[in-house]
């Protein structure tokens, strides 16, 4: 799995987690998402799960050793930190998600990041499955924000996905989702991890890539950004792997 992931920037792990555990997680995750600010457009829901503000149950889910071990394997380390988490809900009729890279939104130095995407219910071809541009991570930063398919790479659609399956993608892998043309919502959680010891990028290093600077400069006013420092603390907790 690791070799395929490094080449394509994406991998699907079937049965990575006990489906019964996902069923236990679903209700508290959806209930928590309903109480958080929604950052999505139209009738979709994107709720950011902040570890330093999460109740103990949600924090235990976010830092689950089951998920941590999957992330640690592809990152090639035994010490990882959770840098971000979110709940994504696409109700019936929700439009496609535009192509993007997760590292657009994180002012980190040149270090690997991986995202685990796990459905809370079954995902079929008509239920807004995820799309990935295989190999796009090898290009690094790509200034792309469109709903049309990229043509430089082959596009992989990871479906069907059952509860317990986990999709993993590199922080630089272009990805998107189809519209939800089914009669049921698509519910999923995305969790992003970095190796322990990763540092915040400096402003000077980001300015050397004007397109990336334009995307990230607004994030540098956040209280959590500490230029050049190691990323640590309760907002980016260390994940126990056992």
Provide DSSP, 191-212: EEEEETT-BBPPHHHHHTSHHH
- What pLDDT is recorded for position 147? 65
- What pLDDT is recorded for position 145? 65
Quick one: how far is CA 206 from the chain centroid? Answer: 22
Q: Are 83 and 197 in contact (CB under 8 A)?
A: no
- What pLDDT is recorded for position 41? 75
The token pair that represents 146 in the structure block: 């469109």
Q: What percent of the chain has pLDDT over 90?
A: 79
CA atoms within 13 A on the CB side of 200: 19
**Spatial distance between the Cα atoms of 16 and 3, rounded to a whole number of angstroms:** 17
* pLDDT bucket at 221, cuts 50 / 70 / 90: confident
Fold category of 2-222 in CATH = Jelly Rolls (2.60.120)
- What pLDDT is recorded for position 128? 97
**Per-residue pLDDT reduced to its tens digit, 22-60:** 999 999 999 999 999 988 877 899 999 999 999 999 999
The token pair that represents 211 in the structure block: 């397109």
* pLDDT bucket at 146, cuts 50 / 70 / 90: low
Q: Are 165 and 70 in contact (CB under 8 A)?
A: no
Position with higher pLDDT, 146 vs 184 = 184
Beta bridge partners of 72: none
Position with higher pLDDT, 211 vs 72 = 72
Burial of 109 (0-12, 13-18, 19+ CB in 10 A): middle
- Quote the pTM value: 0.95
For tokens 């959590």, what's the residue? 224
pLDDT mean over 3-16 = 93
Q: Are 1 and 16 in contact (CB under 8 A)?
A: no
């Amino acid at each position: 799995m690791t070799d395929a992931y490094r080449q394509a920037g994406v991998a699907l792990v079937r049965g990575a987690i006990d489906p019964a555990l996902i069923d236990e997680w679903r209700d508290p995750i959806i209930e928590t998402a309903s109480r958080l600010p929604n950052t999505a457009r139209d009738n979709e829901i994107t709720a950011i799960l902040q570890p330093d503000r999460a109740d103990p149950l949600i924090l235990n889910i976010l830092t689950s050793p089951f998920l941590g071990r999957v992330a640690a394997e592809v990152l090639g380390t035994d010490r990882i930190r959770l840098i971000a988490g979110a709940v994504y809900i696409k109700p019936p009729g929700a439009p496609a998600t535009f192509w993007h890279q997760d590292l657009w939104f994180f002012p980190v130095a040149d270090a690997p990041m991986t995202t685990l995407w796990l459905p809370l219910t079954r995902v079929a071809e008509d239920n807004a499955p995820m799309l990935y541009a295989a190999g796009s991570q090898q290009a690094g930063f790509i200034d792309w924000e469109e709903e049309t398919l990229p043509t430089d790479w082959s596009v992989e659609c990871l479906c069907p996905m059952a509860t317990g399956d986990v999709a993993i993608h590199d922080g630089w892998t272009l990805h998107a989702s189809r519209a939800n043309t089914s009669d049921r919502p698509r519910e999923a959680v995305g969790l992003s991890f970095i190796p322990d010891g990763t540092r915040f990028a400096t402003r000077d290093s980001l300015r050397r890539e004007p397109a990336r600077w334009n995307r990230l400069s607004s994030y540098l006013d956040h209280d959590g950004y500490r230029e050049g420092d190691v990323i640590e603390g309760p907002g980016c907790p260390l994940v126990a792997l056992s």
